[in-house]
Amino acid sequence: MSSLQPVRGTHDLLPDDARRHRRVEEAALAAARRYGFGEIMTPIFEFTEVFSRTLGETSDVVTKEMYTFADRSGESITLRPEGTAGVARAFISGGLAQSLPLKLFYRGPMFRHERPQKGRLRQFHQVGVELLGVESPLADVEVIALAWGLLNDLGLADKVRLEINTLGDAESRAAYRNTLTAYLSEFRSSLSEDSRARLDRNPLRVLDSKDEGDRRIVENAPLMTESLTPSAREFFDAVTAGLTRLDIPYTHNTRLVRGLDYYCHTAFEFTTTALGAQGTVLAGGRYDELIAQMGGPRTPGIGWAAGVERLSMLAGDVADQTRPVAVIPMGDPLAAMAVAERLRRAGLAADLGYSGNMKKRMARANKVNARFAVILGEDEAARGAATLRDLDGGTQDEIPLAALEDHLRRLL
Ligand code: ATP
Ligand code: MG
């Protein structure tokens, strides 16, 4: 029965995977807090227009990837493919314009109907931040510094590189649009069908095409940097000067554009060569017109999102920090459970095997990576005591049961 398989592109996270996954999320939340960001939780589904009107009608996400359905009242609903549009919607519907600047962190599942591959799923998870209400390039520097801080905390500084570009302001983009349209029109018949459609509706999107033929044409296209207005150039220079001042290494990639429509000025990605084709681990940019486009008060914004699966693959494993105490009954199993319960109520992690001889139980203590074993032999029990064995050092002592929690707490 196919319905007993997980849906293609979705995964169960078993405890080891879930631990790696949570570690990335917790690191991201901790880093965000250091920079003054608070967590926001928005629904995982929204009215379809929240995404279709903001991400861009010609974007891959909107044209091919959204999980859209009519709910029982006939409303068109979409499972969120990304986090920014929902946060912007919450900003508007919650009337948050009074509390600017606003620094928000989010995490959770996202949904895109893509071709599943390593690092490319249909339900995946992101952590992300949005900084709303700050026009200054200092905001761009600050959110990039936060991203860099997180990647450092995860031990990834040597595995990623920051690429940054500018998409300019509206005037720069209008000028560039003309230059680019003129160039691409010469190759119209060689472009992919998708890109021919994009050429008429949103030529910048062609720069983001994944089609091989398109990429060859795009390689020689004129650069955005050549169409920048002086003030857009000044803005970009301020961002890169800030990064230099904070010792954050970057490369100016003049070909970098982002896949969603709402970006302006700063666009950036942290990429790696260690994950094959799925090399972007964290990406973001500035979106000064997004909230106005959605019908809210014009509010500048900048943010990024990172793929938790990609980050956790890259960061690899870390041992579970909490090592339990193994409680090993030799006689009455309920007496052992009572001891384990006392340790647990005292805030210690205790592991209790359900059956087996001493040898089996010691093997289990090893498997759960226990630091100590509490062995409840009949003789000690009669004296109201237990044997405490140090599983790393191999030494053991008899400890009165009444003093067990305090003793262990001192040792752990
Ligand atoms: P890509 O170029 O890999 O398709 P994207 O530009 O669509 O990425 P964004 O929308 O910027 O990605 O999302 C930010 C991050 O979320 C990506 O850098 C990536 O780490 C992660 N991500 C995006 N789509 C997926 C997916 N289908 N599966 C797993 N992670 C994803
Ligand atoms: Mg994509």
> How far is 87 from 98, CA to CA, in rounded Å?
16
For residue range 21-67, list pLDDT tens digits in order: 999 999 999 999 999 999 999 999 999 999 998 887 777 788 889 99
165 CA to centre of own chain: 22
Over range 111-118, report the average pLDDT. 94
pLDDT band at residue 136 under the 50/70/90 scheme: very high
**Of 290, 249, 255, which is closest to residue 270 (Cα–Cα)?**
249
pTM, rounded to two decimals = 0.90
For residue range 268-313, list pLDDT tens digits in order: 999 999 888 889 999 999 999 999 999 999 999 999 999 999 999 9
300 and 286 in contact (C-beta within 8 Å)? yes
Q: How far is the CA of 61 from the centre of ligand 2 (A)?
A: 7
> How far is 395 from 311, CA to CA, in rounded Å?
40
Farthest-apart Cα atoms in the chain, separation: 93
Helix, strand, coil % (nearest 5) of the chain? 45, 20, 35
On the question of a cis peptide bond just before residue 333, with omega within 30 degrees of 0, the verdict is: no
Q: Is the CB of 114 under 6 A from ligand 1?
A: yes
pLDDT band at residue 259 under the 50/70/90 scheme: low
Residue of 62, 124, 304, 309 to mutate, ligand 1, most atoms within 8 A of C-beta: 124
Lowest model confidence (mean pLDDT) among 8-12, 147-151, 225-229, 375-379: 375-379
> How far is 113 from 131, CA to CA, in rounded Å?
28
Residue of 80, 211, 310, 314 to mutate, ligand 1, most atoms within 8 A of C-beta: 310
* Angle subtended at Cα 65 by Cα 256 and Cα 85, rounded to the nearest 5 degrees: 70
Which position has the higher pLDDT, 58 or 380?
A: 380
> How far is 85 from 359, CA to CA, in rounded Å?
57
Sequential DSSP letters for 306-362: EEHHHHHHHH-----SPPPEEEEESS-HHHHHHHHHHHHHTT--EEE--S--HHHHH
> How far is 151 from 315, CA to CA, in rounded Å?
9
Position 313 scores a pLDDT of 93
Position 330 scores a pLDDT of 83
258 CA to centre of own chain: 17
Residue 163 is which amino acid? E
Position 1 scores a pLDDT of 56
Q: Which residue has the tokens 């509490």?
A: 374
Q: Please count the other Cβ atoms lying within 10 Å of the Cβ belonging to residue 104.
A: 22
> How far is 359 from 372, CA to CA, in rounded Å?
15
pLDDT band at residue 328 under the 50/70/90 scheme: very high
Sequential DSSP letters for 130-147: EEES--SHHHHHHHHHHH
Please tell me the number of Cα atoms within 13 Å of 119 on its side-chain side: 18
Instruction: Calculate the alpha carbon distances from 69 to 47, 66, 110 in Å.
Output: 10, 9, 16
Position 208 scores a pLDDT of 81
126 and 83 in contact (C-beta within 8 Å)? yes
Position 379 scores a pLDDT of 86
Q: Whose CA is nearest to atom 29 of ligand 1?
A: 120
Q: Is the CB of 369 under 6 A from ligand 1?
A: no
